[in-house]
Every structure is written in structure tokens, then in C-alpha cells.
Chains A and B, each alone.
Chain A
């Protein structure tokens, strides 16, 4: 026993026609109903025949080959550039290291030739300031006994050295005290 045909209007019959063209599985009853509608409706018959021909005509439109220069451009920008890029980078790195080495050597030589015979007063002041800063930090960081011993050494050796520098040191409380003791 078969199902009774469905009554299809034109819109549904055409939707079914497209589904058939898509290769969708259509229930047998719907397929027969669609065929019955198309047989009876001149507009839908014409549309169905047109669509069949159009879909067959699609097969006559084939792909075209990519132009060789386009393919060549792809290789240039991808596979070929891989080695090229690596080689170029290596060469550039080598060249850059040469230039850097030459520049450093030149700078070193220039500094040796042009180095002043004696430090300027500003340089000495900066150096002394740095020394005092380092010594102060060091002194705070160590144990008090050691601190005392180191202070004695520093007071004897380093402070004397600092005072021998041709610099007018700003007078501190400590230096005032030591001066008054002497």
C-alpha cells in the first residue's frame, strides 16, 4: 500500500525541485507528489526543465589554471624565501657584528688617544661621591664589631686618601669633631 499524494502548491513544488537537485533524500510520496504537480502545472514544468538544463550547464564551466607567474610569485614569497631569508639574515647578522666590532675597536682606540692625563675636578667629585655612597651602604650592612674595625681602617686609609684629593669637601659634623680633637 502506498501513501496518498500530497497536494503541493507551486512554491513547495519548486522547493522540492531544488532539494532534488541538491541530491537530498526525498520521501517517495513527496517525490511523486512533486512530479504530479509539475506534470499538471505548465509554469512549474518550465521552471523544472530550465533548472535541469542550468545545472547541467554548470558542468561546462570549468576551472581555469592559475597563471604561471602567479604560482611563481607564491613560491618566491614562501618556499624560496625561506632559505633566502635565512641566508640574508645570517649575512646581515655577520655584517652587523663586523660593524659593531669595528665601531667598538675604534671607540676604544679613540678613548685611549684622547684620554685626559688627569681627571677633572667634576669627575673627581663624582668619584668621591660614589665611593662614599658605597662605603656608607657597606658599613650599614655589616655587623657592628666589624663595622667598628672597618671604620677605623676607612677613617685611616680611605678618608685620608679622599682628603688628599684636590677638592674642597663640604665640612660634615664628623670632620668638625675630628678637627676639634686634633
Chain B
């Protein structure tokens, strides 16, 4: 029997996944303010669908929703021609951006910058697999791509990151 999450399950899911969803959005969008909007909207949509989402699939559901919202925002930015790759590094209130804050070493910081410059498809795969360590099948389901495509993207993304770090003179 399918057991929907209800109010208690919703609260539990928010507390369990809020940081992961916010971090994903922040790294995808490279803008903390947009990331806050997307993370909040993702959780509100979970609330609106709490009668149909089961707790066991809440993580994948949240990832898929956050990813779709991020892609929508990125597309809108492209239409408005307002991509700002530097935004992720500094939050609007002067606090360090999510990537800089999170990366502890020189290589980590360089890597964070390189991730921010990947295309959204590659960036999503790297964040979900290499940083958040989600299972491949869950990532493939969340992004709506076959497993083979997912792995091919991940391989190419790693190669691009390596090339970028070598080009920037940061020896991995």
C-alpha cells in the first residue's frame, strides 16, 4: 500500500533534504538569491504534492523538481542574456558564496570554480554524483536521462574539469 507523506512526513523531508537541495541550487545557479528561491519553491511544491509523494521517493522527487526549476531559471537568464558566472562566489549580502565557502583547499576552490563554469548538464551530474554521492540510478531518474548518458556526461565532465585545472595552472 502506498503511504503518502502527510504533514509530519513533509516536515521531516524538508529538514532532511533542505541543505542538499539548497546547495544543489546554489551550485547550479551560481547565485545564492536565486538558489534560495528555487529551494523554497521546491519545498512548497513538495507540500502541494504531499498526498502523492511517498517518503521513500522524496529525495529523488525533490532533486528532480529542483533540477527542473534550475534549468527553467538558466533558460530564462539566457533569454534575457544575463549570465553571471561570478555570482556564485559572493552572496548578495557580502557573505562568501556557497562554492567558496564549501571548498576548503586550494584545489577544492579551483575545482569549485571549474564546476561553476561547466555547462548545466555536466554541472548537475558532477554535483549530484561527486559531491552529493547520490546513486547513479536515482540521478538518472531525477535528470530524466538513461544511465549510459549519465555516465558519459560524468566522464566528459571530469575530463573538462581536469583540462580546466591544468589550463589554469592548478596541478590537481
Contact = CB atoms under 8 A, between A and B. Distances in A.
- Do A and B pair up? The answer is yes
Given A54-B162, A79-B11, A62 B102 contact: yes
B19 A65 contact: yes
Contacts of A61: 99, 102-103, 108, 111-112, 115, 131
Interface stretch (A70-78, A124-132, A173-181): A70-78
Contact of A77 (B18, B26, B47, B131): B47
B34 to A, nearest CB: 12
B7 A79 contact: yes
A78 B15 CA distance: 13
Interface in A49-99: 49-51, 53-55, 57-58, 60-67, 69-71, 73-74, 77-79, 82
Given A61-B112, A65-B19, A79-B11, A54 B104 contact: no
B44 A77 contact: yes
A82 B26 CA distance: 28
Instruction: Output the residue of A22, A65, A74, A77 with the most chain B CB within 10 A.
Output: A74
Instruction: Output the residue of A53, A58, A71, A79 with the most chain B CB within 10 A.
Output: A58
Contact of B47 (A58, A60, A78): A78
A57 B111 contact: yes
B14 interface: yes
Instruction: Classify chain B's interface size.
Output: 35 or more
A15 interface: yes
Given A57-B108, A79-B10, A82-B7, A71 B18 contact: yes
A33 B111 CA distance: 30
Contacts of A82: 7
Contacts of A69: 36
The 7 closest A-B CB pairs, nearest first, are A60-B108, A78-B47, A66-B22, A63-B23, A53-B172, A58-B130, A18-B155
28 contacts: A14-B159, A18-B154, A22-B151, A22-B154, A49-B172, A50-B165, A51-B158, A53-B107, A53-B172, A54-B162, A54-B172, A58-B130, A60-B111, A61-B108, A61-B112, A61-B131, A63-B132, A64-B98, A64-B102, A66-B36, A69-B36, A70-B22, A73-B36, A74-B18, A77-B44, A77-B47, A78-B14, A78-B43
Interface of B: 7, 10-11, 14, 18-23, 26, 36, 39-40, 43-44, 47, 98-99, 101-105, 107-108, 111-112, 115, 126, 130-132, 136, 151, 154-155, 158-159, 161-162, 165-166, 171-172
Interface of A: 14-15, 18, 21-22, 47, 49-51, 53-55, 57-58, 60-67, 69-71, 73-74, 77-79, 82
